[in-house]
Amino acid sequence: MSALRVLVVDREPVVITTARAMLNQLEYKVLAADTGFKGLELIRTHRPDIVIADVQMPTMNGLEFLQEARAIDPDVVAILITAHQTSAKVREAMKQGAFDILEKPLRMGPVLRAAERAAIRRRQLVQRRRVETLARQVNKELKLSGLFACLRKELAHSLGVRLFSVFLYDTPTDALTLACSNHVPKAQGKENISIGLEGPMRTAIKTRAPVIVSRFANSRWRQTAKQRERRYHDDTSATLPLIVGDELIGVLNLNDKVEPPEGFEEIDVSYLLIAAEHIASAIAVRQQTGRLSAALEELRAAQNQLAAESRARAKFIERVITNQEEERRRISRELHDEAGQWLTSLIAGLGSLESSTQEYETRDKAIRLRRLSQFTLDEIRRVSRGLRPTALDSMGLEGALQQLSDEFVGTHPAHVDIEMSGLTGRRLPEAIEITLYRAVQEALTNVAKHASAAVISIVIDRQQDRVRAIIEDDGVGFEVKRANGGLGIVGIRERVESLHGSLQIESHPGEGAALVIDIPVSA
């Protein structure tokens, strides 16, 4: 923006001539029109800053003209001229948005005073609108990078300077980083500027107040004035702290004021401060959002990794369990089929030797060897059954559990109450049957090892979509949280959970123990 433009609208040429002569003193550029219509046309084409218009004009009077003018440029500052200034007229004119009233004939003093005040008003209005526009544009950007790109494009123009730089301040290290500038080439966001002990930026950081320099050569920083000349055209600068709440987040540096008058004045500073406030909070909000979304991203990645790991673990456990069962089945079969067959033949051979020989000693040896072999065979069968519950294959879960319970009662001084429902006539999936069998097996082993129980109750209840097992004893009980170290319960849990089921242990010292297993059964 160069010299201020003033439009004078009056049908009397003498008024225009007088006004022009007076306003030229202020070095304003004067446009003139002798009717309201011509005046409006000039507003459209030349965008004057101030209009001075006569109230008494034919066809379109001053007040009508004012309304039309403000419709074209809401920030135009209007001064009306009247022949007789009455308070009613003044009130009416002000109501219509006039900024001031002058009386005919025009006198130099009032005209210049009114024009100067109008000029300041115009500057304020233009500045306000620019900051509003800037804030609107800045708010459209969601990311910090977008915000800086927007500032690079708009900020210098909005603040009426040629050059600007935004630095971000890091309190712990007392370091400034160049974040965005319209004149420092490359290295944006990388260049770390160590703040000297002196200089406007240091002062702005220390005082948290704007530092305005109108002539560097005369300022306390004149030693840097020479060096500045290479970079900057003129000698003006404004350094504004960027503050959000109580926190100093950076510094905004402005150089080379473009618009007259030379140097920043008080009204400029107050609007620069408003702009700095907008910029500071826009940066802070985007920094926060950025940090938040980075944290969220990290969290999501960790969650995904955790889920993947737990899936992999579940798969692994499932494979281990399957392999284990297969391996047991193989060993059990070997023992049963191979060793069992050999022993059976051996027993038969010993039997015939026993009946064919007459010699007492040989016969006696054969009998002992046959009994030993029979005992070994029984033992092998027992081990083989334990390894692979063939009872499951032949008798189903119900029969196999009954057998387990019978065996337990046969070898331990305890009573077992077993109650099963929903199992007759329909088989559960093999994996569930083995899991329940192993769980009851381990639970009974635990009772034998740890509980000193008199009564054990086993309840298996098969529903349509789930099966539930409760193995309860009236023994010494235990502190569930402390009972770690063993692999038995852990093993049950892993088997049950690999089938998407759950295991609960209810026990307290002196109050017996109960395992509650719940496994879903897909239809």
Q: Single out the segment in contact with ligand ADP by CB under 6 A; choices: 42-50, 339-347, 353-361, 487-495.
A: 487-495
Q: Is 476 in the site for ligand ADP (CB under 6 A)?
A: yes
**Coil, strand or helix at 193:** strand
Q: In the sheet where 77-82 sits, what is the strand order? A: 29-33, 5-9, 50-54, 77-82, 100-103
Q: Is 478 in the site for ligand ADP (CB under 6 A)?
A: yes
Of 372, 385, 381, which is closest to residue 346 (Cα–Cα)?
372
Q: Is 473 in the site for ligand ADP (CB under 6 A)?
A: yes
DSSP 195: P
Q: Which is nearer to ligand ADP, 278 or 450 (CB)?
A: 450
Q: Is 62 in the site for ligand ADP (CB under 6 A)?
A: no
Token pair of 222, please? 């004149």
Q: Which is nearer to Mg ion, 351 or 488 (CB)?
A: 488
Q: Which is nearer to ligand ADP, 39 or 477 (CB)?
A: 477
Q: Are 396 and 462 in contact (CB under 8 A)?
A: no
Q: Are 76 and 70 in contact (CB under 8 A)?
A: yes
Tell me the site size for Mg ion, rule CB under 5 A: 3
Report the Cα 67 to chain-centroid distance in Å.
Answer: 51
Of 238, 234, 235, which is closest to residue 267 (Cα–Cα)?
238
423 binds, among ligand ADP, Mg ion, none (CB under 5 to 8 A by kind): none
* Rounded Cα–Cα distance for residues 348 and 350 (Å): 5
What's the alpha-carbon Rg for the chain, to the nearest Å? 49
* Rounded Cα–Cα distance for residues 82 and 96 (Å): 15
The single-letter code of the amino acid at 88 is A
The single-letter code of the amino acid at 39 is G
Q: Which is nearer to Mg ion, 250 or 512 (CB)?
A: 512
Applying CB under 5 A, which of residues 351, 422, 488, 520 lies at the interface with Mg ion? 488
Q: Is 447 in the site for ligand ADP (CB under 6 A)?
A: yes
**Between residue 158 and residue 197, which ones bind ligand ADP under the rule CB under 6 A?**
none
Q: Is 514 in the site for ligand ADP (CB under 6 A)?
A: no
Tell me the site size for ligand ADP, rule CB under 6 A: 17
| Residue span 9-28 as binding mask against ligand ADP, x where in contact by CB under 6 A, dash where not | --------------------
Q: Are 119 and 50 in contact (CB under 8 A)?
A: yes
Q: Single out the segment in contact with ligand ADP by CB under 6 A; choices: 59-67, 162-170, 363-371, 484-492.
A: 484-492
478 binds, among Mg ion, ligand ADP, none (CB under 5 to 8 A by kind): ligand ADP
Q: Which residue matches tokens 């005992």?
A: 375
Q: Are 467 and 461 in contact (CB under 8 A)?
A: yes
Shortest Å, Cβ 448 to ligand ADP: 9
Q: Single out the segment in contact with ligand ADP by CB under 6 A; choices: 223-231, 249-257, 433-441, 476-484.
A: 476-484
Give the footprint of ligand ADP on this chain (CB under 6 A): 446-447, 449-451, 473, 475-478, 483, 486-490, 513
Give the footprint of Mg ion on this chain (CB under 5 A): 446, 486, 488
